[in-house]
Amino acid sequence: MPQDIQSFTLSNGLTLLTERMPHVRSTSFNILLPAGAAHDPDGRQGLASLVCDLMTRGAGSRDNRELTDALDNLGVDRGESSGTLNVQLSGAMLSRNLVPTFEIYADILRRPHLPEDELDAAKSLSIQDIQSLEDDPQRKVMVELRKRYYPDPLGRDQRGTIEGVEAVTIEDVRRQHAELYHPRDVILSVAGELDPEAVKKEVERLFGDWKPLPRPPMRVATHVPTSGHIEKELDQTQISLAFPSVPIGHPDFYNVRGAIGVLSQDMSSRLFTNVREKHGLCYSVYASYESFRDRATIIGYAGARPELAQETLDRTLEEFRNLVNGIEEEELDRVKIGLKSSLIMRQESTAARAGSIASDWYFLGRVRSLEEIQASIDGLQVEKILDYLRRNPAKDFTVVTLGPAALKH
């Protein structure tokens, strides 16, 4: 089915992306705004999440309850979150409710109340979320891995710190909103049953007079990744690792996806088969890929009983290092089938399409067609992946563990 994707950038710097999907009756939107945790001032880590929370506690002419009721009455399945670099707001609704939903979100973005009497409640929820990491050792070790692996502020956890959250004042919240919540470099994507010209007209009406401000370049600290261990009495040792890769948009991006798929796409993949099933070392083991615009990382994880943890780490690292020695055609065929299945399922979801086209624009400055993505998947070849692995060997591992005893690597 041919895609109908259009892009338009307002004079204030906001980019609108639309994808018409005439076979559905719903519409979804996705907003990316450069105001994530990496923008938190020193000593106020957690501010971005608090701003994101307070924005939805009353906006425009509606107080907290009225705003919630209005969105519920429109049937909006919504979410708001602060990531490392961006704040993301998303929603899905029946197509006929798109315009009134946008009117509410124009208030949320541009005219939030940011009520002082709600700040303590928002801070309490943030602190509970941070404290909950102690009950989720897998999440905790991943937070620590990113903090040790990435340079500041890229390694910050979006939850912030207890000390940072406690220090935030309502003046900090309002200053952060005033400085960062403006249209320059904002991406608004919409996918579903829609009229692109009508959507463009409404976006211009609601956001066209939103005043842009400069966005100063982010200062990324000089940093050398450091491995480490967090000692804690647990029934399982949590093992995490990271090493460099190439970012989205790099010519080798799909070769990376192919390599990671061979290692960790399904229960036939090497990490599951060779570390979990063959040797019975751990219940959970996987590899994944994550990217910023200018750098990317391969992440690995395993959880094992303390007496098996060292062997689990050794064999997991061995699988990463040995991949360069050969890949079977049937392994790559399974990866291709999995990637294509995921692509087909994303085609059927308006929320997935809104997220995908926003992500493409953010990373690439354009939207890839489904045909282009499928051709890239079809073009995966064993020798091309092995050539990438020879040029980019798995090395310089940063390993962070959480458990009773440190491990060697």
Confidence category of residue 1, pLDDT binned at 50, 70, 90: very low
pLDDT of residue 347: 82
187: three-class secondary structure by DSSP = strand
What percent of the chain lies above the pLDDT cut of 90? 92
CA angle 214, 215, 220 (to 5 degrees): 150
196 and 238 inside one domain: no
Q: In this model, does residue 278 exceed pLDDT 90?
A: no
177 and 108 inside one domain: yes
Specify burial of residue 340 (Cβ count, 10 A radius: 0-12, 13-18, 19+): middle
Q: Decide if 212 is inside a domain.
A: no
261 and 361 inside one domain: yes
167 and 285 inside one domain: no
192 and 46 inside one domain: yes
43 and 132 inside one domain: yes
123 and 48 inside one domain: yes
Question: pLDDT digits over 205-241, tens only?
Answer: 999 999 999 998 899 999 999 999 999 999 999 999 9
pLDDT of residue 316: 96
- Among 106-115, 150-159, 278-287, 383-392, name the one with the lowest average pLDDT: 278-287
Q: Decide if 219 is inside a domain.
A: no
What percent of the chain lies above the pLDDT cut of 70? 100
160 and 289 inside one domain: no
Q: Give how far Cα 93 sits from Cα of 26, 27, 168, Å.
A: 6, 6, 34
pLDDT of residue 266: 85
Confidence category of residue 167, pLDDT binned at 50, 70, 90: very high
Q: Where are the beta strands (DSSP E) in 164-216?
A: 187-192
Q: Decide if 48 is inside a domain.
A: yes
DSSP 8-state assignment for residue 271: I
Q: Decide if 91 is inside a domain.
A: yes
Q: Decide if 197 is inside a domain.
A: yes
Specify burial of residue 108 (Cβ count, 10 A radius: 0-12, 13-18, 19+): buried
169 and 295 inside one domain: no
pLDDT of residue 357: 96
Residues 6+ apart with CB under 8 A from 337: none
Q: In this model, does residue 144 exceed pLDDT 90?
A: yes
Residue 307 belongs to domain spanning? 228-403
CA distance 402 to 396: 20
Work out the average pLDDT over 395-399.
Answer: 96
CA distance 5 to 361: 12
Q: Decide if 409 is inside a domain.
A: no
Q: Decide if 182 is inside a domain.
A: yes
138 and 268 inside one domain: no
Q: In this model, does residue 399 exceed pLDDT 60?
A: yes
Gap between the terminal Cα atoms of the chain: 50
To which residue do tokens 């563990």 refer? Answer: 401
pLDDT of residue 199: 98
List helix spans (H) across 4-161.
47-55, 64-73, 98-110, 119-131, 137-149
Mean pLDDT of the chain: 96
Q: Return the CATH number at 349.
A: 3.30.830.10
pTM over 0.85: yes
- Among 172, 207, 242, the domain boundary falls at 207
* DSSP element (H, E) containing 59: strand 58-59
Token output for 394:
């798995």
Work out the average pLDDT over 126-131.
Answer: 97
390 and 255 inside one domain: yes
CA distance 56 to 62: 10
Question: pLDDT digits over 7-30, tens only?
Answer: 999 999 999 999 999 989 999 999
CA distance 30 to 162: 29
Question: pLDDT digits over 49-92, tens only?
Answer: 999 999 999 999 999 999 999 999 999 999 999 999 999 999 99
pLDDT of residue 181: 98
- Among 153, 175, 207, the domain boundary falls at 207
87 closest CA partner among 55, 132, 41: 55
Q: Decide if 301 is inside a domain.
A: yes
Q: In this model, does residue 2 exceed pLDDT 70?
A: no
Report how many domains make up the chain. Answer: 2
pLDDT of residue 279: 84
The torsion angles phi and psi of 299, rounded to 5 degrees, stand at -110, 140
271 and 395 inside one domain: yes
